[in-house]
Structures are given as structure tokens and as C-alpha cells.
A and B are shown apart, each in its own frame.
Chain A
Amino acid sequence: MDDVLAKDRKISQRLAENERILRSLFNNCFDITFRPFFPSDAPAALLVYIAGLADTDKINNELFRPDTPSQWNSLFTDIHLSTVASSDTTESIQEAVEGLLQGQSVLFMEGRPDCYFLDLKAKNGRTIQEPAFEQTIRGPRDSFTEQIEVNVILIRKRIQSTKLKLEPITVGSISRTKLIIVYLEGIVDELVLSQVKERIARIRTTAILESGYIEEMIEDVSFSPFPQMQVTERPDIVSANLFEGKVAVLTDGTPNALIVPMTFWTTFQSAEDYYERFIFASLMRWTRLILFAISLYLPSLFVAITTFHSQLMPTNFLFSLTAAREGVPFPSVIEALLIEFMFEGLREAGIRLPKATGSAVSIVGALVIGQAAVQAGIVSAPMVIVVSMTGIASFAIPRYNMSIAFRILKFPMLILSGMFGLYGVTMGTIALLVHLARLETFGVPYLSPVSPLRPEGIKEVFIRPPKLESKRFRNLFARLRGKIGDEA
């Protein structure tokens, strides 16, 4: 009802009327502040702002900065206002209200059919801190904050070009959350960009509180464990992806940016790959590929081989395994599920618990599960090793949302292997591949460039190719040396 009231309303020339409308709209909102002024020989004025969103200090120091009482009269002229803060006018009550809610200060004057917006927003919020999830040894240490303005600056600082486009769009009928679609003009994949814009424009919801809301609303396939958008808190990752022609979506109020489209193989690329020497980076990429396979397959392969295909094991390995399994009451697959479940529990508890009690969980986990359960003969030591290795492997995947996918898929794989052995694992893998091959994100096949095969892209999948600029520097260096030699 309030919206209807505001929508067709124009700003009245009478100050009292404006105040009445605003007061009724902001009924029961204690943080709205009305500051009326009555200069002696100028029309009366009313400054409205939301305390906390607008910077009260700035308003007091900059807007009301009369050096002499005679200047009071020119206080609210266009010239003065534009020197104070970037200012705009509107005649619509609704726009005025929106401005207020975004943190603008709104100035009404007696006898004028419009109001001024004064951009005197308060800068409250977290300062730029080190990334919490995506840490690297080498590379920038700044990460996004909850303030979208700051996040934009972090990207803009890295790409100082007019080609960097930042298109704002507001989503959420009540939360009015600001999104910014970031891309590099000329480099961006136009198809993806238009898709992103179209899908975001189609969103009909009351509230967007995190980028995850957007992700779910614009992704292609919801019923998939696989993330179709990369989530990052690092501005350098966003910038690098922009140069690859991808589109980033920043959401106000969250330090997580979305990058679309995400393909399967980018899972194995870490930001650091591009900062470290390429040989090491390629090696690490392979390590990750292997660890990925371990995180998905190790428990199921272990169960399948020990219970269905014991002939596949080397004989001496079998000696140790049979000895360790002696007296364990549960079948291998139940044992594996049990420890995996406990491990997931530990992991969940570790995230939830405050830091002070977090260490208690790890002690209990290590002692109870690792030591006591084995000694009591409830589970076998090799199974604990297998599950821990799987856990470690899943932590090595640079994308958290992808490692979640593998954590989930591990369980059906385990059950299949417990039922059908390697045959079940093979069937599970085929089903997984069928799903992956069918998946598309924003028109890009999920498994590209491997399937469909794109030879020029496949290089990036398995190694981190050198940037090959060094040749130029070497020539430069040779020339410099030659010059020095001539002078000598």
C-alpha cells in the first residue's frame, strides 16, 4: 500500500506535505532522520537521511560549513551543493525513497517540486582483508569485501581500461540488492554476456542475500552436484577470468563473485599456477588431477578390490590388509561409509565451531576415530588411512564448490562398489560421464575443451603453458650487452 502511495506521488512544493509522506512511509523506522532548516531569508529546507547509511560527520562538516552567518542564505544553492557532494535531483517520491535506502541524503526545499540527492554515504564495513578460502603463497593478498563499491575498485585497479564495463542491475523486490555485471568489452563472449543479462533480468524474487541465490536462479541445470559457476573472493581471479572472455557478477553484501561460464577442467587451475614457474605449476596441475581422482575413487576402489577382486592386489600387500581386517565386525563397505560419515561430521563440526573449541573437535576426531576405533577393532587401520587420504585429496581441489561435488559423489560410488565391485564403479563412472557430457553452462559444454575436443584449448587443461614472453627479454638483454661491449 505504501508503494502505491509513493509510486504516483510527485514531490510536493510544500515541505510539510513531503515530510508527512516520508514519515508515513518510514513509519516505525527509528533510523530515519529529519533535519529541517529555517534560514532567515531563504526558503525552508528539510534534510532527510538514514542514520548510519549516510555519514553524519560529513553532513555536519561539509554541508553545513558556513564560515559567516551571511553565507547561510546560499547554503542550499545548486553551486554549493555540487561542491559538497555529487548531487542529482528527482521529482518522484519513489526515487527519493530509493535514494534514501541506498544511503543518499535527500534535501527538500520549500517551493521546489524536486529534491536533491547528496551522495554522502558512510563507509562502514569490513576493510579489505586477506582471502579466507583461496589462499596462495605468491600473489595479491586482497580479497573482496561485503561492499560492492570496494569490490569494483579492486577490479578497476587491476584493469585500468575503458573496456572494463560494469553494468549495475538491481534485483529483489524488497531487498533491492545491487548486482554488477562485469566484463571486458571486445573480449567477452557476447553470447554468454547476453545470456547472463537476460537470465538476471528474469529473476523474480523478494530477496537476494548472497551470490548463491543468483547462482541457483540463473544456472542451467539445478539437479546436478556440479557447480556451473565459479565462486571466488579474489579480485585477481576475477580479472584473469575477464581476460578469458568470461563474465563476472558481483553481488552487494557478499565477498563472493560469480564467474560464468565455469567448465569442469578449470577446477584444476589455481590462481597461483599463473604466478609460479610454469614447470612447477604444470606439475601441481597433474597432482591436482590425481588427487581429484583419489577424492572420488579411492574408497570405492579400495572396497571393490578388497571385497570383490582380491586377486588384483600384490600378495605382500594382501598380507598386511588381511591382517589388519582380522576381527573387524563390519563389511568393508559399511566400514567405509561409517568412517566417511564420521569424517564428514568432523568437517562440518570444524566449520561450525568457534575457533576456540575447534581444536577440541580435531583432538577428539584424531583420537577417537583415528586411534581408539582401530585399537578397539571396530574399524581397520587401512580404511582409516584410505578415508583420510580421500579427505586430504578433496582439500587439494582449488574450487570449494567442486570439491563438494566430489564429496557427494563419493557416496553413491562407494555404495555401487560395495554392491557390484569394479563393475559398479565402472557403471557409476559411465553415468557420471554421461551427466557431465550433457551438462552445458551458458551455452558452453561443461567438459570443453576436452569434449568436444578443441586442440588449442586442451593444452591449458593438462599443463600450464609458459607465457613465452621471455624470448623478447632475452633479445633485449643481448642487445644491451652488445651496446655495453661496444662502449668498452
Chain B
Amino acid sequence: MKRKAKKTFIIMLIFVSLLCGCWDRKELNDQLFDLAGGIDLDREKRECYLISAQMLIPAKAAEGQESSKSDYFLETSRGKNVYDAIQEMQKYLSRSMTRAHRGNLFIGEALARDGISEILDSYTRDPKSRIRTDLWIVKDGTALEIMKIKYPLEKMPAMAPIKIHQAAGGEVGTSLVEYLIASRGEGSYPTLPVVKMVIKPELGIPTMTFYGRAVFSHGHKLLGYLDYDESHNRGWIVGLIDSSVLTVEAPGPVTGFISNPKSKMQTTLLKSGSVKTEITIKGQITVKENDSPLDLTDESNLMQLQRLFNQEINKEMMQLIHKVQKTLKADVLGIGETVYRQHPHYWKRNRDKWDSNFVDSEIIIHPKLEIKRIGLQGSPVHVK
């Protein structure tokens, strides 16, 4: 009796698995991998999204390097929102689109100014999208323009900005996650990396470059940009970079490579009710090129150079802070977060006022860079 029940149970179980019919099985050659996407506002009809996608052509990829034809093709479609547009695009494709490998999503500037909350919703709600995607803002252009660029080094041109960003010492695959964290974080404004199409006059062909970071408002609208150096220095303060390069006039340029960049933030509450922030900037300098007459084996020269480096970083940081405080009026340095941690009671009372408090708050930089290595030579070759 018991055996019979067991048998029946197993047979029923097998039937259940056969009957449900909702198998997720999809062979690789029935899938189309959408490896990069672009989203723009359609200029003609304002409520319409124009999405573009770079899709891998598997057969082309198989042929390897010899193939001169491209490994991908572009497809575009329009829709009322992102998912609508994706469904529209599917109508033109013989294989089902898989967005799980989409590493990059480009957002045109016009759309970014209009607000990206709908994109964020589609991205965080639909499990078929990848959370480890890099969202990029296209400065002075549309996503479609970036998608059309043929980049020679990568199989999929749209993968290039990740690699450029990575080569420049930034973290990749995390910009969406960081955006989401920052947009929910205490007082901070979210940012996204920016890519820009450039046509170098001497080459005449379009290419793309990592431009910097875009700053967004709490309403997910584009406020403005930080350029490459500014966003790099911001990364230094926030702790996102792993190396940097700094050039000073000594006189004659001296360039140092900064390893181990670190920063420490200390906030103090002033009697006036505002917040004073002290940021200590640390790093180890390796002198990479010395075109000045300074002989670096001489300690006084070395100390002088170190002072120059510290002055330079101080200047650059103050420029960044000025821009953030006065132009963008957005706390992208994580100061609000630090105040929240260091003075939780103050924060509770003044959370809503932080945006205006930040603009007027005092921020001081304490640069503490040290020259650790002067390279293989003592005095420069041009100095006897």
C-alpha cells in the first residue's frame, strides 16, 4: 500500500513537470544577445522613447579575426516606455532578445535632462535586466550616435567605454548600483559616468572617450557634468579610484604617479549651525618625469617638490569643491553621509536643510601627499 502510494506520487510528480509547459529552456542559438543598449528621447514625438541595441552576430564571431565584417548589428525601435520599445524591437528579430549580458546602457543627454526615473524603474523591476550594468550619459549627443561608432579594439564597440574607464583606474559594472545607493543615501546626489563622442581633426573619424561624471538631482534629472579631472578627484574623495596622475610646475613640469590614493573626512558642527568639513588627502607619489632643474637626490629639493604637489592637489580639489557647491549645488562628495554618521542627532534635525546647508558649508582640504620614489635617476639628464 505504502509502496503504491509512493509510486503514484512519483508518477504524478513527473506529469506535473511535463504538463506545466513553462520551461525556461532556450538554446544559445535561439537567443540574441543584446550587449549594449541606448535610450533617447524621440525628438519628433516627445513622449516617445527611441531605443537602440547592439546585438552580437554569433556566426560572425565564429569566423574570428580574419573577418572584416562587423560582429554586430544595430536595431532601433520606438515605444511609450522602455519595455514597450523592447517588445516593439522583438518584432523585427528572429531570435528572442536576452538582455542579461547587457553591460552598457547609454542615455542621451536630452533624455537625461528630462529625467531617467522610468529607465531606472524598468531596470530594477525586470529581473531579466542585469543589475551590474554601467549606465552612461552621452554628453552633447544622443545614445544612437555612440552606438553607431565603430571602435576597432572591441568586438562590440559599446564595450569600449567600460574598458576605457577601467584603464583609467575607475570601477566598472557598478554605476547603476552606485546610482541606486546614492539616490537613496543620506543627502547625497547620484552620479553616472559620462561618455562623449569626439572627432579628432587629425584623424577625422568619430571615436568615444570617457568624459567624466554626470550629476543628477533627487528627481533623477541631469544637473550638470564634472569633467575627467574633476570626477577623478571626486573619486579620490569618495574612495573610488586606485591611482592618479598629477603634474606640477617646478618650474618645468614634473609628473608624479600617485598610488594608494586615500582620503579621510572629518566634520565638525559649528556654533552658527553650519558644518565644517575637513578632508585629508593622502597618497604616495612616484616621480615619473622630471623636466625641472631640480635634483631630487637633494632632500630640500624633494621637500620643495612635495610641497608643490600638495599645493597643486589642494588647488584642484578646491576647484572641484567650488564647482560642486556653487555651480551644481549638489553634494556628490558624500559629505552628507559623513555628517549623518558622525553627527546623527544633528542630521536628524537638519536633514531636510542639508541641500542649502551644503552650499554654504566650509570645506577644507588637507593635502598630505608624500613622495616615496623618485625613479631610477637622481638629477635630470639635462642638468649637469
Contacts and interface: CB of A to CB of B under 8 A. Distances in A.
Interface of A: 306-308, 310-311, 315, 318-328, 331-332, 418-421
B28 A307 contact: yes
Q: Which 8 A-B pairs have the closest CB atoms?
A: A311-B100, A323-B62, A322-B58, A323-B61, A325-B28, A326-B58, A326-B59, A322-B28
B26 A308 contact: yes
Interface of B: 17, 23-29, 31, 33, 35, 56, 58-59, 61-62, 98, 100-101, 103, 130, 155
A428 to B, nearest CB: 13
A482 B101 CA distance: 70
A322 B33 contact: yes
A314 to B, nearest CB: 9
A308 B58 contact: no
Interface of B is mostly: mixed
Given A322-B56, A322-B61, A331 B33 contact: no
B17 A322 contact: no
A325 B58 contact: yes
A420 to B, nearest CB: 7
Contacts of A308: 24-26
Nearest to A424: B17
B341 to A, nearest CB: 35
A357 to B, nearest CB: 37
B25 A323 contact: no
Contacts of A420: 17, 23
B29 A327 contact: yes
Contacts, number: 67
Contact of A419 (B17, B28, B35, B61): B17
Contacts of B103: 315
B102 to A, nearest CB: 9
A253 to B, nearest CB: 39
Given A319-B155, A323-B62, A418-B25, A310 B31 contact: yes
**Most chain B CB within a 10 A radius of its CB, from A308, A318, A321, A419:** A318
A20 B35 CA distance: 95
A321 B28 CA distance: 8
A331 B25 contact: yes
A310 B58 contact: no
A310 B101 contact: yes
A419 B23 contact: yes
Contacts of A332: 27-28
Contacts of B25: 307-308, 331, 418-419, 421
Nearest to B32: A322
A326 B101 CA distance: 18
B62 A324 contact: yes
A315 B26 CA distance: 17
B58 A323 contact: yes
Nearest to A333: B25
A421 B101 contact: no
Given A318-B101, A327-B59, A421 B31 contact: no
Contacts of B61: 319-320, 322-323
A419 B28 CA distance: 15
A459 B14 CA distance: 41
Contact of A326 (B24, B26, B29): B29
Contacts of B28: 306-307, 310, 318, 321-322, 325, 332
